[in-house]
């Protein structure tokens, strides 16, 4: 009981921070300080955060190197596109969400069960291959309109919805990480053989992290489709998976705060460097290599911003 009450204080703080952010955004739009360009940039950053937090769960906390995130995003995106075109209503939108998540779970199980027993590099290539297979299948199906992609998707994902869902998915993921399940996953990451010797069903837990990550990717995909109103198979290729990977690595594999920070930094950098053309990619690539060689733990390493620590710090100070 006491534990819940104690936690309640911190959860409430986070809640207040999120609501403040919401009203701040709303006011700035009403005042006219945020135009559709900045709104666009912010929503893209939020969708990237959802993707990166999910990937961080798989790579950072479970230690499974998956390069196939874009495949699950594609599943969510296309499900939403197809369903909302048939049932044009907000109900249809939410239904497509759920259907997208279910299909993503099934796909994650199909991909995960055979491949998660592979190690490191092999797992990376296998997941990349699986995502490519998903993309090629989508590219050749009639119902997805093939390479032409789908457009004129009705827009139901307005910025409030994206913001709220970003907050919810982050809360769920962080709670999972801090729960018993999260600790199990971290133990699997640290030393899988030792964890197995302790009686933990490593396959089950690796699969759980993988599926959760895939579900968040599908959610992000649904939002992407409904916000941008245009999707094409080429949006979900290897490059997309690697872009999300870069966000996770830059922020620090294993730090959710770092992911937030990196997503924002990269989102802004992308816009600032827009006129550099191909040189921008060269700069990114060089920066990535330098980062890996000199600071492989990323910007924040495994440091997390925690309100609990803040409170404790203040308490200790005032004593």
Partner 1 sequence: MKRKMIKKIMGFGTAMLVAGMLAGCSTAKTASKGNAAGKTIKIGVNMELSGAAAGYGNSQKQGIQMAVDQINKNGGINVDGKKKKVSLIIRDNKTSTSTSASVAAQLVNKDKVNAIVGPATTNAGTAQIPNITKAAVPSVSPSATDPNYTLQKSGKVQPYVFRACYQNNFQGSTAAKFAYTNLKAKRVAVLADNSSDYGTGLAKAFKKAYKGKIAASQYFQEGDKDFNAILTSFKNKKIDAIYAPGYYSEIGLIVKQARQAGINVPIIGSDGMADPKLAQIAGNENATNVYYTTPFSTRVANQNGTAKKFMKAFKEQYNEEAPTFSALAYDSVYMIKKAIENEKSADSAKIAEGLTKIKNFDGVTGKITIDSKHNANKPIVVETLSNGKVSAATEIK
Partner 2 sequence: MQIFFQQVINGLSLGSIYALLALGYTMVYGIIKLINFAHGDIYMLGAFWGYYVINVWHFNFMLALLSAMVVCGICGVIIEYLAYRPLRHSPRITALITAIGVSFFLENGMAYLFGSNARDFPQVVKQVNYDIGGVRISNIQLEILITSCVLMLILQLIIKRTKMGRAMRAVSVDNAAAELVGVDLNRTISFTFALGSSMAGAAGVMIGLYYNSIDPLMGLTPGIKAFVAAVVGGIGSVPGASLGGFLIGLLETLVQSIGLSAYKDAVVYVVLIVILLIRPMGIFGKNVKEKV
Please give the residue ranges that form the binding site for partner 1 (CB under 8 A).
1, 4, 11, 15, 19, 22, 26-27, 29-30, 34-37, 39-41, 44, 85, 139-140, 146-149, 151-152, 154-155, 158-161, 164, 167-168, 224, 228-232, 234-235, 270-271, 274-275, 277-278, 280-281
Q: Strand, helix or coil at 66?
A: coil
Rg (CA), the chain: 20
Residue with tokens 């999910």: 54
Residue 104 phi, psi dihedral angles, 5° rounding = -65, -40
Binding site partner of 199, from partner 2, partner 1, none, Cβ cut-off 5-8 A by kind: none
Binding site partner of 116, from partner 1, partner 2, none, Cβ cut-off 5-8 A by kind: none
Output the smallest distance, CB 113 to partner 1, in A.
Answer: 30
Torsion, Cα of 268, 274, 278, 283 (10° steps): -30
Output the smallest distance, CB 122 to partner 2, in A.
Answer: 6
Binding site partner of 307, from partner 1, partner 2, none, Cβ cut-off 5-8 A by kind: none
Contacts of 98 (CB under 8 A, 6+ apart): none
Binding site partner of 235, from partner 2, partner 1, none, Cβ cut-off 5-8 A by kind: partner 1
Task: Annotate 141-156 with three-state secondary structure.
Answer: CCCCCHHHCEECCCCC
Output the smallest distance, CB 317 to partner 2, in A.
Answer: 37
CA-CA distance, 260 to 154, in Å (whole number)?
28
CA-CA distance, 160 to 103, in Å (whole number)?
25
Choose, by CB under 8 A, the member of 12, 133, 310, 314 that binds partner 2: 133
Please list every residue from 232 through 291 that binds partner 2, using CB under 8 A. 242, 245, 249, 253, 277-279, 281-282, 284-286, 288-289
Binding site partner of 160, from partner 1, partner 2, none, Cβ cut-off 5-8 A by kind: partner 1
Q: Strand, helix or coil at 309?
A: helix
Please list every residue from 138 through 157 that binds partner 2, using CB under 8 A. 139-140
CA-CA distance, 148 to 211, in Å (whole number)?
29
Contacts of 277 (CB under 8 A, 6+ apart): none
Binding site partner of 118, from partner 1, partner 2, none, Cβ cut-off 5-8 A by kind: partner 2
Binding site partner of 264, from partner 1, partner 2, none, Cβ cut-off 5-8 A by kind: none
CA-CA distance, 14 to 20, in Å (whole number)?
10
Distance spanning both ends of the chain, measured CA to CA? 26
Candidates 119-127, 179-187, 203-211, 222-230; binding stretch for partner 2 (CB under 8 A): 119-127
Output the smallest distance, CB 297 to partner 2, in A.
Answer: 9
CA angle, 159 then 44 then 155, to 5°: 45
Judged by the rule CB under 8 A, the positions of this chain that interact with partner 2 are 59, 65, 114-115, 118, 120-122, 124-126, 128-130, 132-133, 136-137, 139-140, 193, 242, 245, 249, 253, 277-279, 281-282, 284-286, 288-289, 292-293, 296
């Amino acid at each position: 009981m006491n534990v819940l009450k104690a936690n309640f204080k911190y959860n409430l703080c986070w809640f207040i921070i999120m609501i403040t952010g919401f009203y701040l955004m709303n006011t700035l739009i009403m005042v006219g300080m945020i135009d559709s360009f900045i709104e666009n940039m912010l929503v893209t950053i939020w969708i990237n955060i959802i993707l990166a937090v999910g990937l961080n769960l798989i790579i950072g906390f479970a230690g499974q190197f998956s390069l196939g995130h874009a495949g699950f995003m594609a599943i969510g995106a296309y499900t939403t596109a197809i369903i909302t075109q048939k049932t044009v209503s907000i109900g249809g939108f939410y239904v497509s969400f759920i259907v997208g998540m279910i299909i993503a779970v099934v796909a994650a199980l199909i991909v995960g069960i055979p491949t998660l027993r592979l190690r490191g590099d092999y797992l990376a290539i296998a997941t990349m291959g699986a995502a490519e297979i998903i993309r090629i299948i989508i590219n050749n199906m009639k119902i997805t309109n093939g390479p032409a992609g789908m457009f004129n998707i009705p827009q139901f994902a307005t910025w409030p919805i994206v913001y709220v869902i970003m907050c919810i998915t982050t809360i769920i993921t962080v709670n999972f990480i801090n729960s018993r399940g999260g600790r199990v996953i971290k133990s699997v990451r640290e030393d899988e053989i030792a964890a197995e010797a302790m009686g933990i069903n490593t396959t089950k837990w690796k699969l759980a992290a993988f599926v959760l990550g895939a579900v968040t990717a599908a959610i992000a995909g649904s939002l992407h489709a409904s916000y941008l109103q245009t999707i094409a198979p080429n949006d979900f290729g290897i490059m997309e998976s690697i872009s999300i990977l870069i966000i996770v690595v830059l922020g620090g594999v294993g730090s959710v705060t770092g992911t937030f920070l990196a997503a924002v930094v990269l989102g802004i950098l992308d816009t600032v460097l827009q006129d550099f053309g191909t040189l921008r990619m060269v700069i990114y690539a060089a920066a990535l290599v330098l980062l890996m060689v000199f600071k492989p733990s990323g910007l924040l390493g495994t440091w997390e911003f925690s309100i609990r620590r803040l409170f404790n710090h203040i308490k200790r100070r005032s004593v």
